[in-house]
Amino acid sequence: SIANALKTNSSITTLDLYDTNIGDEGAQSIANCLNTNSSITSLDLGNNKIGYQGAQSIAKALNTNSSITSLGLNYNQIGYQGAESIADCLNTNSSITSLYLNNNYIRDAGAQSIANALKTN
């Protein structure tokens, strides 16, 4: 799979999986590769039916990954729970400079969590 190949790949810097229907399971696989891959700087997972569980997996990986500078999770279904997970990782990850979360039903609670994290990021 792509995720397995990326565990050892050191030349790919941009991974664009927009609209590939990977869902939570695919997001979890990508998150696993982010634990070892330090070459990817831009990750676009937009429009993939990723829910809060997939967002939690990505956020957990970003707690230790410092190479990702751009993260696209727009047009998914992460909800406020996924937004809270992303906000938590922003408290420890200072490498992310671009974050795309539009059309995710994060509601006020998720937006507030992101806003609070950005104050200290």
Note the pLDDT tens digit of each residue in 54-104: 999 999 999 999 999 999 999 999 999 999 999 999 999 999 999 999 999
Q: What is the 3-state secondary structure (H, E, C) of the chain?
A: CHHHHHHHCCCCCEEECCCCCCHHHHHHHHHHHHCCCCCCCEEECCCCCCEHHHHHHHHHHHCCCCCCCEEECCCCECHHHHHHHHHHHHCCCCCCCEEECCCCCCHHHHHHHHHHHHHHC
- Pick the range with the lowest mean pLDDT from 6-10, 17-21, 22-26, 44-48: 6-10
